[in-house]
């Protein structure tokens, strides 16, 4: 727990030194008119991001990043399980954009090690922190692997499409009538935070459901994607200007909405809506939703054309470790959306260009443990003056926004009808008792219960202020 403090102090000293003596580096040199330059810069950033991952070394657990925090109240001491799943998704994108297969085996090993016994991304080790969104991020990475034609796992292993279906099938029974519909934040009723319903959990489901509909052609997925969207509108988590708010407590029947806006919430719905637009062969309804979401995103998260995490970026040290990665998903999904809803291409490409230029400049950092002069901060709007932060989230965000500039050269996502080779299983995950009846896997150790109990008591005590919900919502 001392390390983050020292790190922050160091970051502050670095900033001071930089502002007094000028900066030694102008960041990574990026020429957006050159495919080779974009690929080179992406390769450097990916290498530095993967230097945080030790899961493929002997004695380590494949698929995990250092962390998670021993104390749930300390949010910046390690990486949660979901972020590793998100990171492997960005490495699948990396292969898609650059053709560089250097990391494929490491990614495949990790994605297959964390599937859980029932192949639905509910590994037992993660039960005590399992949010629908956490499971959803691994599911979305598996879906990406299927769509982009990432190498299929050996035939005796679960397949990408079936893994995404396993996530969908275990989440569907978790919808209930609290607040008139929707998924809870947490997957299991015994977890603190279950009484919160939020945009990211429902957004991950919507995103996966729409993509399963397009990939398989099965209308059942589209029906549930659409009803999830309708609930989001009805409950007011998405307003008439397409602002996407964080969520609300079921204790008040979702009548008091936490209005914090995080970029990934809007992004996860954009890709789902673009997919529905494509699935419905260009329907006016989904056209308008895609258009509205994108306008909202550009207004809220791109001041001066540069992607900005409005809730915390002004003081990056107030961003949780989760938030530092949100711009990665926003920009990834904006780029992917242009393939499905080409009418947004020009607006998205312009924003990705200005943001990528700015992000590359910000990759000029030398944190104590990686003094290489090229680690990426989050504060892209600050040009070459490194903001003193570094980590997986910042590397992932810079990687995605930069490589996304190759989207016009990249191939369209595959479906079962256009050459996709991933094998599905419409019933995947349905044998997982814990998936739909969480009490069946309720943790039995006293330590777990005490831990969760303390958190619940704390939450109950302070919840009236609404502050805890904001800080809890920071965790995906
Ligand atoms: C682990 O992965 C890294 C890339 O992230 C690679 O350089 C290294 O060789 C791998 N080590 C083993 C033991 O597979
Ligand atoms: C679960 O934890 C045990 C004990 O640390 C470890 O051996 C195992 O590899 C972990 N499994 C996964 C899927 O993380
Ligand atoms: C709770 O909210 C839902 C959705 O807005 C609504 O349909 C339902 O009537 C509300 N229930 C109560 C008891 O107010
Ligand atoms: C379509 O998806 C639903 C929901 O997963 C499933 O029950 C059904 O069997 C699927 N139909 C086909 C033809 O695969
Ligand atoms: C749907 O996506 C495909 C693949 O990218 C694209 O060719 C097609 O034009 C899209 N459909 C619509 C209606 O935009």
Q: What is the DSSP string of 308-366?
A: --TTTTTSGGGS-TTGGGHHHHHHHHHHHHHHH-GGGHHHHHHHHHHHHHHHHHHEEE-
Q: Is the pLDDT of residue 19 over 80?
A: no
User: 249: which strand partners?
Assistant: 196
Contacts of 88 (CB under 8 A, 6+ apart): 63, 107, 110, 111, 141
Residue 470 domain-assigned (yes or no): no
Tell me the average pLDDT across 177-200.
97
CA distance 387 to 419: 44
Residue 473 domain-assigned (yes or no): no
Nearest CA to ligand 1 atom 10: 56
Residue 230 domain-assigned (yes or no): yes
Instruction: Verify whether ligand 3 is closer than 6 Å to residue 452 (CB atom).
Output: no
Nearest CA to ligand 4 atom 3: 220
- Identify the pLDDT of residue 23: 47
Residue 288 CA to ligand 3 center (angstroms) comes to 27
Task: Give the C-alpha distances (Å, rounded to integers) separating 425 from 79, 154, 164, 216, 412.
Answer: 31, 16, 9, 11, 23
CA distance 252 to 363: 44
Q: Percentage of the chain with pLDDT > 70?
A: 84
Where b means 16+ CB within 10 Å and e means fewer, 165-193 reads bbbbbbbbebbeebbebbbbbbbbebbbb
Rounded mean pLDDT of the chain? 88
Torsion from C-alpha of 282, 287, 290, 296, nearest 10 degrees: 160
Q: Is the pLDDT of residue 433 over 50?
A: yes
Query: Which of 180, 234, 250 best tests ligand 3's pocket when mutated (most atoms within 8 Å of CB)?
Result: 180
Nearest CA to ligand 1 atom 14: 56
Q: Percentage of the chain with pLDDT > 90?
A: 81
Nearest to 117 by CA among 406, 403, 428, 349: 428
- Identify the pLDDT of residue 156: 97
Angle CA(411)–CA(216)–CA(435) in degrees, nearest 5? 115
Of the ligands numbered here, which is closest to the C-alpha atom of 162?
4
Nearest CA to ligand 3 atom 9: 180
| Structural tokens at position 114 | 């964390």
Total residue length of the chain: 476
Nearest CA to ligand 4 atom 6: 426
- Identify the pLDDT of residue 443: 53
Instruction: Verify whether ligand 3 is closer than 6 Å to residue 256 (CB atom).
Output: no
- Identify the pLDDT of residue 43: 98
Instruction: Verify whether ligand 2 is closer than 6 Å to residue 119 (CB atom).
Output: no
Q: Is the pLDDT of residue 4 over 50?
A: no
Q: Is the pLDDT of residue 183 over 70?
A: yes
- For residue 191, give the DSSP letter: S
Q: Is the pLDDT of residue 455 over 80?
A: no
Q: Which of 74-88, 128-142, 425-439 has the lowest mean pLDDT?
A: 425-439
pLDDT tens readout for residues 241-298? 999 999 999 999 999 999 999 999 999 999 999 999 999 999 999 999 999 999 999 9
Q: Is the pLDDT of residue 236 over 60?
A: yes
Kindly report the number of other CB atoms within 10 A of residue 460's CB atom.
13
Instruction: Verify whether ligand 1 is closer than 6 Å to residue 59 (CB atom).
Output: no
Residue 359 domain boundaries: 27-412
pLDDT tens readout for residues 364-384? 999 999 999 999 999 999 988
* CATH number reported for the structural domain that contains residue 41 in this entry: 1.50.10.20
Contacts of 33 (CB under 8 A, 6+ apart): none
> What is the separation, in whole angstroms, between the first and last Cα of the chain?
21
Residue 440 domain-assigned (yes or no): no
Residue 315 domain-assigned (yes or no): yes
Nearest to 48 by CA among 324, 358, 386, 364: 364
- CA 2 to chain CA mean position, Å: 28
- Identify the pLDDT of residue 456: 36
Contacts of 59 (CB under 8 A, 6+ apart): none
Tell me the average pLDDT across 89-104.
98
Residue 50 domain-assigned (yes or no): yes
- Identify the pLDDT of residue 431: 85
Split at pLDDT 50, 70, 90, the class of 441 is: low
- Identify the pLDDT of residue 26: 84
Residue 476 domain-assigned (yes or no): no
Instruction: Verify whether ligand 1 is closer than 6 Å to residue 225 (CB atom).
Output: no
Total domains in the chain come to 1
Kindly report the number of other CB atoms within 10 A of residue 433's CB atom.
11
Query: Which of 106, 109, 110, 396 best tests ligand 1's pocket when mutated (most atoms within 8 Å of CB)?
Result: 106
CA distance 62 to 29: 33
Residue 210 CA to ligand 4 center (angstroms) comes to 14
Tell me the average pLDDT across 90-99.
99
Query: Which of 56, 58, 62, 66 best tests ligand 1's pocket when mutated (most atoms within 8 Å of CB)?
Result: 56
Residue 185 domain-assigned (yes or no): yes
Nearest CA to ligand 3 atom 1: 179
């Amino acid at each position: 727990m001392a390390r983050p403090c020292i790190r922050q102090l160091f970051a502050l000293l670095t900033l001071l030194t930089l502002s007094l003596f000028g900066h030694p580096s102008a960041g990574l040199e990026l020429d957006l008119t050159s495919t080779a330059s974009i690929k080179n810069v992406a390769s450097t950033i990916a290498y530095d991001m993967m230097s945080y991952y030790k899961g493929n070394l002997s004695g380590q657990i494949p698929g995990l990043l250092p962390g998670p925090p021993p104390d749930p109240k300390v949010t910046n001491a390690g990486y949660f399980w979901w972020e590793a799943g998100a990171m492997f998704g960005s490495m699948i994108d990396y292969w898609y954009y650059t053709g560089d297969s250097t990391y494929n085996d490491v990614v495949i090993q990790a994605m297959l090690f964390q599937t859980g016994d029932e192949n639905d991304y509910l590994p037992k080790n993660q039960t005590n922190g399992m949010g629908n969104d956490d499971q959803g991020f691994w599911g979305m990475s598996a879906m990406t692997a299927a769509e982009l034609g990432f190498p299929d796992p050996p035939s005796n292993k679960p397949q990408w499409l079936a893994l995404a279906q396993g996530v969908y099938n275990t989440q569907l029974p978790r919808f209930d009538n609290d607040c008139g519909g929707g998924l809870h934040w947490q997957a299991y009723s015994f977890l603190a935070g279950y009484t919160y319903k939020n945009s990211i959990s429902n957004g991950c489901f919507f995103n996966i459901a729409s993509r399963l509909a397009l990939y398989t052609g099965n209308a059942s997925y589209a029906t549930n994607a659409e009803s999830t969207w309708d609930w989001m509108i009805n409950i007011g988590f998405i307003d008439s200007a397409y602002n996407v708010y964080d969520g609300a407590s079921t204790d008040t029947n979702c009548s008091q909405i936490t209005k914090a806006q995080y970029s990934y919430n809007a992004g996860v719905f954009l890709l789902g809506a673009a997919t529905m637009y494509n699935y419905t062969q260009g329907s006016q309804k989904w056209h308008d939703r895609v258009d509205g979401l994108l306008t909202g995103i550009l207004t809220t998260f791109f001041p001066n054309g540069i992607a900005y995490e409005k809730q915390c970026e002004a003081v990056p040290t107030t961003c949780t470790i989760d938030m530092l990665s949100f711009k990665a998903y926003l920009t990834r999904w904006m780029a992917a959306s242009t393939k499905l809803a080409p009418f947004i291409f020009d607006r998205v490409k312009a924003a990705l260009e200005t943001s990528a230029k700015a992000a590359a400049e910000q990759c000029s950092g030398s944190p104590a443990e990686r003094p290489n002069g090229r680690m990426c901060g989050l504060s892209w709007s600050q040009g070459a003056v490194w903001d003193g932060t570094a980590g997986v989230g910042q590397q992932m965000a810079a990687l995605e926004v930069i490589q996304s500039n190759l989207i016009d050269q990249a191939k369209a996502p595959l479906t079962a009808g256009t050459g996709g080779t991933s094998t599905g299983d419409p019933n995947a995950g349905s044998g997982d008792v814990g998936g739909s009846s969480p009490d069946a896997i309720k943790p039995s150790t006293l330590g777990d219960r005490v831990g969760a109990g303390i958190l619940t008591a704390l939450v109950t005590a302070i919840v009236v202020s609404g502050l805890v919900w904001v800080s809890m919502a920071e965790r995906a």
